[in-house]
Chains A and B, each alone.
Chain A
Amino acid sequence: MSVAASPSILPGRGGFAGALSDSFWRKPKLLLFLMLTPPLLWLGIIYIGSLLALLLQSFFSIDEFSGMVNYEFTLATYAELLRPSNFDIILRTVTMAAAVTIASAAVAFPIAYYAARYAQGKWKALFYLGIMLPLWSSYLVKIYAWKLILAKEGILNWAFEKLHLTWLLDGILGLPVVGGNSLSVSYIGTFLVFVYIWLPYMILPTQAALERVPGNLIEASSDLGATPAQAFRTVILPLALPGIVAGSIFTFSLTLGDYIIPQIIGSSRLFIGQAVYTQQGTAGNIPLAAAFSVVPIVIMGLYLWLAKRQGAFDAL
């Protein structure tokens, strides 16, 4: 084999594809530009654009007599949000979203911790399957299934009866505000279904964050004298917090915007999503619907700002 006989520059691939890959290699930014332009146009025009249009709508008002939209800038529509009947809707939704988020985090953490720290091989596959499987079936089917489970004639009532615990269920349903005639028409029912539906969105980011916590940090804290509880509080939790916050963004904002679950399961009192639905549909009050839908955006913004200020993202 002779080194001298081979050329120092290999022949190009030729053709348009060859020329294209050569010029992309010389100008990597061109490739980046071509790759990013379509999705950015989509995001910019269709996504952000429609959001801005929505925001614009919320600064208009509706003429009470004719029902026509009055295209003059005003904050009157936002003032309307503060009317007790509307403000109750906001308060109810935010409280529910907060409760759902806290409960999801509490349920998700041990599962995510197990999956991140202990599950191996087929157990890990089983974990992912178990988390993802519910996402493959229709949202509506799951909610109607829950309605049957929670109904007065449903399996849950039956189970409580067989276990002679009907008194317990009745006691829970007898609670003011959150209780009701049966679980399927109470806030507790709405809450349970919300937690069930959004749980995967809490588990997955929490698990991803915990997976990134190196095992030797936990060993180091133990080595330095931290009991398991101290290690959890001072090392595991702070490092998992960005994941929990990411998960809570999902559960919180999804609950804030959902209008199907509270319509099918729960008392007939409205949530923000339902208010938007009725305002833009039956009532034809687009400005008020827009103002209602701005509320979750503002709340989420506030939430993220607070989380950042509390140092939730320090470990990123």
Chain B
Amino acid sequence: MTAAVEFQNVSRHFGQVRAVDGVNLAIAPGEFFAMLGPSGSGKTTCLRLIAGFEQPTGGSVRIFGDAVEGVPPYRRNVNTVFQDYALFPHLSILDNVAYGLMVKGVDKATRLRQAEEALELVKLPGYGARRPGQLSGGQRQRVALARALVNKPKVLLLDEPLGALDLKLREQMQEELKSLQRALGITFVFVTHDQGEALSMADRVAVFNNGNIVHEGTPEDIYKRPKQRFVADFVGSSNVIAPDVMTRLGGEKRWASLRPEAIRVRPAGEGVAATVQQSSFLGAVNRLLVEAGGTRLHVMLPADQPVPAIGTTIGLGWVGSDIHYMDDAS
């Protein structure tokens, strides 16, 4: 099967800066693919390479099998939802959505009808006459989505589309985006620095660092079995444990990760001894910060269990298989 988007050893260097450095990637058709990483990790440059705003300095980008080197953005059948939406301030909402059809020469009646349908799809029917400045951030986000989807792209690129929204709206949009993607069957490529967003929405996630992919896999794989310390640090609240601490805790002398919810709190004297240093109420759980074996660990304690007082000694226990060893050199 031809990949929707394929990167073959793709690099994009800006002078001395290697924004993207030898990335290999294959995104399946109809997949919801997330590119996750801190700012400057190369994920946005990868998105711009697909859109055509950047040209690779090395390697080859293919969209449904076609090499797109030298193909300008306006000839690529992909559309982008921009980070700050990039709606045209001088056009009405309907004209914004119909823009792509307008420049392709679709007649006025057809394009306005399709634009109105796209607005209905994103739950903004009847908003067409307004100007972008009159809408809230969440509404503008939906318009940007409608403006891209109306062109029926083969790949939809989303550049941190939820970054500017508040938490509640963001969660709502996450669910809507996901169901929209499932309903339309379009390949979504989603760039974000929010690990929760990437894990909850994507079928597959690529974690970027320093211009390259350090781990690619399903959200569960990345969460439970991070390949590198960087992934464990970035993706989760996972405890990253140094090799010498691991030996003290009774494990191999290698870098390891241990998820906070995999640790059980037991009475003092059982398991590994630990001192409670802090506790935070997070609703469904209490998060404890404890000191054990010369390192600090986070522990998730279900809310129905009693919270040990700060300064007390408790015991910690975990199943050996919950310790995940990583590839980093010890």
Contact = CB atoms under 8 A, between A and B. Distances in A.
B73 interface: yes
Contacts of A314: 90
B89 interface: yes
Given A223-B73, A234-B99, 10 more contacts: A220-B80, A222-B52, A222-B72, A222-B74, A223-B78, A224-B99, A224-B151, A225-B100, A226-B74, A230-B103
A221 B103 CA distance: 9
Which residue among A214, A227, A234, A238 has the maximum number of chain B CB atoms within 10 Å of its CB?
A234
A223 B51 contact: yes
A221 B95 CA distance: 12
Interface of B: 51-53, 72-75, 78-80, 82-84, 86-90, 99-100, 102-104, 147-148, 151
A220 B82 contact: yes
B84 A216 contact: yes
Nearest to A220: B86
Contact of B103 (A216, A219, A227): A227
A219 B53 contact: yes
Contacts, number: 64
A221 B52 CA distance: 13
Contacts of A214: 86
Contacts of A230: 103
A230 B72 CA distance: 14
A219 B87 CA distance: 11
Contacts of B148: 224
A225 B74 contact: yes
A220 B74 contact: no
Which residue among B78, B100, B103 has the maximum number of chain A CB atoms within 10 Å of its CB?
B103
A227 B148 CA distance: 17
A214 B73 CA distance: 18
A219 B80 CA distance: 10
Query: Lowest 9 CB-CB distances: which A-B pairs, in order?
Result: A224-B100, A220-B86, A226-B103, A216-B86, A315-B90, A222-B73, A223-B80, A230-B103, A238-B90
A225 B104 contact: yes
Interface string A217-243: 101111111110010001100110000
A198 B89 CA distance: 30
Contacts of B52: 222-223
B90 A224 contact: no
Contact of A217 (B83, B86, B147): B86
A219 B82 contact: yes
A314 to B, nearest CB: 5
A224 B53 contact: no
Contacts of A220: 80, 82, 86-88
Contacts of B100: 224-225
Given A219-B53, A222-B73, A239 B90 contact: yes
B147 A216 contact: no
A239 B88 CA distance: 9
A226 to B, nearest CB: 4
A222 B79 CA distance: 10
14 contacts: A214-B86, A216-B83, A217-B88, A219-B53, A220-B86, A220-B88, A222-B74, A223-B53, A224-B79, A225-B104, A227-B74, A230-B103, A235-B88, A238-B90
B21 to A, nearest CB: 24
A78 to B, nearest CB: 39
